[in-house]
A and B are shown apart, each in its own frame.
Chain A
Amino acid sequence: MLCIDKARKILNQSQVIMTTEIAGIIFMYVLTVALAIPLGRYIGRVYEGDKTWLDKILHPLDKIFFKLSGINPAKEMNWKQHLMALLTINLVWFILSMLILMNMSWLPLNPDGNPSMPADLAFNTTVSFVSNTNLQHYSGETGVSYLGQLTLMLFQFISAATGMAACVAVFMAMKERTTENLGNFYNFFVKSCTRILLPLAIVVALILAFNGTPMNFEGKAQYISMQGDTVHVSRGPAAAMIAIKQLGTNGGGYYGPNSAHPLENPNYLTNIVENISIILIPIAMVFALGYIIKRRRFAWMVFGVMTLGFFLLLFNAVYNEMHGNPMIGQMGISQPLGSMEGKEVRFGPAASAYWEVTTTVTSNGSVNAMHDSFTPLAGMSALLGMMVNSFYGGVGVGYLNFYIFIIIAVFISGLMVGRTPEFLGKKIEAKEMKIAALIALLHPLLILAGTALASYLFAHNPSAYADWLNNPGNHGFSEMLYEFTSSSANNGSGFEGLGDNTPFWNIACGTVMLLARFLPIIGPVAIAGILAKKKYIPESAGTLKTDTNTFGVMVFAVIFIVAALSFFPALTLGPIAEFFGMK
């Protein structure tokens, strides 16, 4: 009797815990949207040059930047000039970062005496940070000096701001007018840093610092644990870096285990703050779009489609994680909390799954649990989120990816209603279609070709590459697929379990990141620029409206079909086969 009572008690307790966990993630999402709406309006005002309450403090700061660089922020640029500016400054940062990472050992701010990086790792790391990916084939505590960390932190600002500035150029092009002038790239870029990323990062960093995250320039601390072991604890400017890695959908952690590390993400409160930071700006950018092009309904349509996709992935992940691992169940072990493998007890399965989905849909890539340990279908949610890469998506670039899907959806649905396709009053013709098709192709190409190359090498010489995979079979396949998907989505999270600090992975992933970063920025900006130049056609009763539910369904269908059709066989061999194998 006692035994049954006890079991019932545990069951009740676990139910309470489960309800609280679900309530926790609902609270996080609602709070995020509640913050994103006013933030979106603020972002819109910043880019439009309307007055905001931060002008007084930050206007002088912007002025210093423009004065030093000799840039006139009022000078209008066309789409080609935007892209030139974007690529040029990125090239400069690329060179700068390579120099620092390969010479860290003798440069200042290196109290722990960390070594310089070899060329292939420096290439991978540089590309990774310049491209807003933050795939880390090194561990922060031992792999970089504080100067290195500060450099990478700088990139976390500027790579995010690069994406935002490109996105704003597209916003400007979507306005109801015929023009070549899409504003000034440097103006958008500097304002993204000073008016949006910096203030938010300060708030987040303060909250983290007050909850115990280190913020100093001192070397490793040392203490002797209760067992008598000597433990070295890495310190440094962690809070600042963690704030921006979350807000800028960067994801490159200060510590190797990222936000699963107790100093990087000390408690449930910091977890909420960090998790909200992941999707706050991506969602706010959508509302900023509505403000800038003065089409609120359109912004809500975009938000609706993104949210639908996000919820589907989220539901799948949370459901599977909270129901535990069937193999463990078969061993007769009860899992009242769900699958706890690879998770931090202070967050639990629901919050870990929520983080997993938010970090993969947004190209953030920070983690608070081990993605390798998720149940197969929850792992697939992460993969799918990155394969689509536009359910909210990375700051700025998420909407750019979504824009390509819109163009394709507009084209097909325009034909379906018997009219040459028009998007916001501009005709979509062969040239735009060509660019959109190429960009839509790129993502599957990079992911599948990369994974195919790795599979080929491994399958034909398993002994030479034995240390690549920690797990054989389907799971090993998922690990390789995940690495390339993460690189191509500029996400940066790892399934881990993959021995990835080898020249093959460093160079292959670096190349993928580079292509997957800049081509999908160039494409949408080019399409938007070409469309902006075209004659504006006012709406008539025959025009297909793009701010309706019906059109939203159409966009969702296009995204689903493109993602599902391109990746279905690969997913079948990875998580799906693993799922059926576990039953």
Chain B
Amino acid sequence: MSVHRRKNNLFEPKQVKEAVTQSFKKLNPVIQFRNPVMFTVWIGTLVMAFVSVWIAAGETSQGSLAYNMVITAILFITLLFANFAEAIAEARGKAQADSLRKAREDTPAKKVFSVGEIYVDEIKVIPSSQLRKGDLFVCEAGDVIAMDGEIVQGIATIDESAITGESAPVIREAGGDKSSVTGGTKVLSDRIKVKVTTEPGETFLDKMIALVEGASRQKTPNEIALTILLASFTLVFVIVCVTLKPFGDYANTPITIGAFISLFVCLIPTTIGGLLSAIGIAGMDRALRANVITKSGKAVETAGDLDTILLDKTGTITIGNRRATNFWSTDGITENEFIELATWGSLADETPEGKSIVELAASKGVSKTKEAGMTFIEFTAETRSSGVNLGNGTNIRKGAFDAIRKLVEKAGNRVPEEASDRVKLIAENGGTPLVVSKNGEVKGVIELQDIVKPGIQERFERLRKMGVKTVMVTGDNPLTAKYIAEKAGVDDFIAEAKPEDKMNYIRKEQQGGKLVAMMGDGTNDAPALAQADVGVAMNSGTQAAKEAGNMVDLDNDPTKLIEIVEIGKQLLMTRGTLTTFSIANDVAKYFAIVPALFIASIPALQGLNIMGLHSPESAILSAVIFNAIIIPLLIPLALKGVAYKPIGASALLRRNLLIYGFGGVIVPFIGIKLIDLLVSNWF
């Protein structure tokens, strides 16, 4: 979980002010046209305005001027409310993005120009906006990094708080998976040379800002399908209202234009129509508040549908890294001699595990330093072992059991039973055994242990109830992996995982029709990130990984996937429940308006006026007013999203059907009656 959370006040005065201005600007018919439901209200308002003018000019068949003007005004306010909902969501997203963008105002950049045939670097200071993809620049302590890029040379501590809100500095260095830097962050120490990886205006942040501001916001497939449904409901009511005219003629009941338009506006799903885009923006905004930059609204929705998520063991399921806890020497060698061997073998090992071996040895009184004549053998994915060749020709290797066994057997020796038993024992207890060999003979086993994060079981349980399967990815052997998997409560695991294993697993799941998410940071994760339906790249990861995924997590927090799933589900649920609520409202509105339409010519229909509304005028006005004010009342819900409860799909449906469906039928009866009590003072 991220430590830092940005403030979450729903209505900041500054944003409200901006949103109000925007609400008026959005009255532009070109913008309104994008939302078919609200566009019809827009037309209705216009018609009512003409009717009011007509009455002012002397027409008498359409009711009083005051009554018609009030309807016009309420319809106008309905439009403004709907616009305000969208505008406030945009303003919130923009404010969020602005605070990020502040960091990337034009900063001076020390651009590197290669001069002459031997490419002597010459450094000139230019504005960051002139940097192009592929350019190089240097940053020294105190400099703000000018653009997103990749470190090609050097190592530095960097303050990323401007983006992540996390105050602890992080280390970034050339090569490997921690080479990526973000524009706007600050170098605290050392000097790095950075290669620009994006054109100006195309950084993730720029894309996100454009997305929130609506410039590049496209409707997601789901939103399109819902718009179709809402449009068809609107059409049904067009038919209902248009046909009502000849019906009225037949029944000798003249119906005023004001009544027609009121009935129509009340029946069409204005509540969801007015809030629809606000809900979508708020979803992306919630992701941003969780410090996740999404590249499209669709990615957030897809997250709600995930079936399987791949999580790296380290840092997600277990705390940090494994640490050495024990040295187990084999026969014929003292413990101290073995510790010495293990220390030699780990001297050049910069991994946390390697370092922990040296530390544990030091605590047992053994410390060694690098000496001349030593050749260090680096770990490769092929040999899956590392070590050292000493000056005297002795070679020491350290690695997974299988890797060392291969090596030992190649040298014509056998692994002592004692060692393989120990390996098995350690693995069964969830530890990781590292076997050390000297000149092709096994000398002992180092035990590394993992610590499962507290509370992680509950989180996986929550995911399971959502129907999401968790898969742990680990380089551990199957036995260790199984132990930790059981302890943490994941559903499946990939042991001894190579990068292509992740890819294969994702493909296999997708072939079975599942949607898969994974989180990754390394360049070798990039193909799998691209293959996954939701690929979340860590901000600290390589540029390749960030390009491949469709979300970037600024906190580098691997458990973020769980939050993202909930945000996606909330987004869809908010749409679904408000649609249901909006349509359920119609029942009460019918009971208010339909008797009001006909009561003059068919007095018997008073029997339908079950709310006992005061007069036809007050009934129609109450329904229209209710229809208008329900929009701002539901804005907080649209922005915050309907709470997701992992109680199973059917139970969730029952709950939401009860609250928003049944509630949607009842609430307007009460609301309209209360408004009528008030309105009846005048009409």
Contact = CB atoms under 8 A, between A and B. Distances in A.
A577 B605 contact: yes
A540 B579 contact: no
A83 interface: no
Interface stretch (A9-17, A153-161, A354-362, A553-561): A553-561
Please classify the interface of chain A as helix (H, G, I), strand (E, B), loop, or mixed, using the class held by over half of its residues: helix
A582 B239 CA distance: 29
A453 B247 CA distance: 9
B400 interface: no
B467 A455 contact: no
B366 interface: no
B221 to A, nearest CB: 6
Please classify the interface of chain B as helix (H, G, I), strand (E, B), loop, or mixed, using the class held by over half of its residues: helix
A448 to B, nearest CB: 4
B466 A430 contact: no
B600 interface: no
Given A416-B652, A418-B568, A542-B649, A428 B225 contact: yes
A103 B632 CA distance: 68
A456 B533 CA distance: 56
Most buried by B among A535, A542, A553: A542
A535 B533 CA distance: 15
A438 B232 contact: yes
A60 interface: no
Contacts of B226: 411, 415, 433
B247 A580 contact: no
Given A416-B573, A455-B249, A568-B594, A411 B661 contact: no
Most buried by B among A433, A535, A551: A433
Most buried by A among B245, B467, B575: B467
Interface in B457-471: 464-469
A130 interface: no
B171 interface: no
A452 interface: yes
A438 B652 CA distance: 29
Given A451-B243, A540-B469, A568-B590, A441 B235 contact: yes
Contact of A538 (B240, B512, B575, B654): B512
Contact of A561 (B221, B231, B583, B597): B583
Contact of A415 (B247, B465, B579, B587): B579
B249 A456 contact: yes
A36 interface: no
B677 interface: no
A543 B221 contact: no
A581 B604 contact: yes
B243 A448 contact: yes
A430 B224 contact: yes
Interface stretch (B83-91, B300-308, B422-430): B300-308
A541 B652 contact: no
Contact of A416 (B246, B247, B653): B653
Nearest to A536: B513
Contacts of B469: 540
B286 to A, nearest CB: 13
A418 B304 contact: yes
Interface string B185-228: 00000000000000000000000000000000000011011101
B560 interface: no
A456 to B, nearest CB: 4
A135 to B, nearest CB: 21
B629 interface: no
A541 B608 CA distance: 45
A554 B649 CA distance: 13
A428 B660 CA distance: 22
A536 B650 CA distance: 21
B250 A565 contact: no
Given A412-B580, A572-B598, A581-B602, A477 B225 contact: no
A220 to B, nearest CB: 41
Contacts of B653: 413, 416-417, 544, 550-551, 554
Contacts of A430: 221, 224-225, 228
B251 interface: yes
Size band of the B side of the interface?
35 or more
Interface in A408-443: 408, 411-420, 425, 428-430, 433-434, 437-438, 440-441
A394 interface: no
B604 A566 contact: no
Contacts of B570: 418
Contacts of B654: 550
B250 A477 contact: yes
Contacts of B586: 561, 565
A419 B572 CA distance: 6
Interface in B229-260: 229, 231-232, 235-237, 239-240, 242-247, 249-252
A459 B252 CA distance: 8
Interface residues of A, number: 67
A460 interface: yes
Given A418-B570, A540-B307, A437 B513 contact: no
Contacts of B597: 569
Contacts of A583: 604, 607
B304 A477 contact: no
Contacts of B604: 577, 580-581, 583
A458 B248 CA distance: 12
Given A577-B604, A581-B602, A581-B604, A545 B247 contact: no
A355 to B, nearest CB: 29
A420 B306 CA distance: 10
Contacts of A554: 653, 657
A565 B590 contact: yes
A52 interface: no
B561 to A, nearest CB: 15
Contacts of A544: 649-650, 653
A545 B649 contact: yes
A455 B583 CA distance: 29
A420 B222 contact: yes
A362 B131 CA distance: 73
B583 to A, nearest CB: 6
B644 interface: yes
B577 interface: yes
Nearest to B241: A569
Nearest to A578: B604
B475 interface: no
Contact of B247 (A452, A537, A561): A452
A573 interface: yes
A508 B232 CA distance: 24
Contacts of A440: 232
A334 interface: no
Nearest to B647: A417
Interface in A440-494: 440-441, 444-445, 448-449, 451-453, 455-456, 458-460, 473-474, 477
Contact of B304 (A419, A425, A437): A419
A418 B605 contact: no
A429 B608 contact: no
B584 interface: yes
Given A449-B243, A565-B236, A416 B657 contact: yes
Contact of A541 (B466, B583, B656): B466
A477 B579 contact: no
Contacts of B467: 540-543
A548 interface: yes
A554 B224 CA distance: 22
6 contacts: A415-B226, A418-B568, A564-B587, A565-B587, A577-B605, A583-B604
**Which A-B residue pairs are the 8 nearest by beta carbons?**
A542-B467, A415-B576, A418-B569, A437-B232, A537-B513, A416-B576, A541-B467, A452-B243
Given A473-B251, A554-B657, 18 more contacts: A416-B657, A419-B569, A419-B572, A441-B232, A444-B239, A449-B239, A453-B246, A460-B249, A477-B247, A535-B513, A542-B468, A550-B653, A554-B653, A564-B587, A572-B594, A573-B250, A580-B605, A580-B606
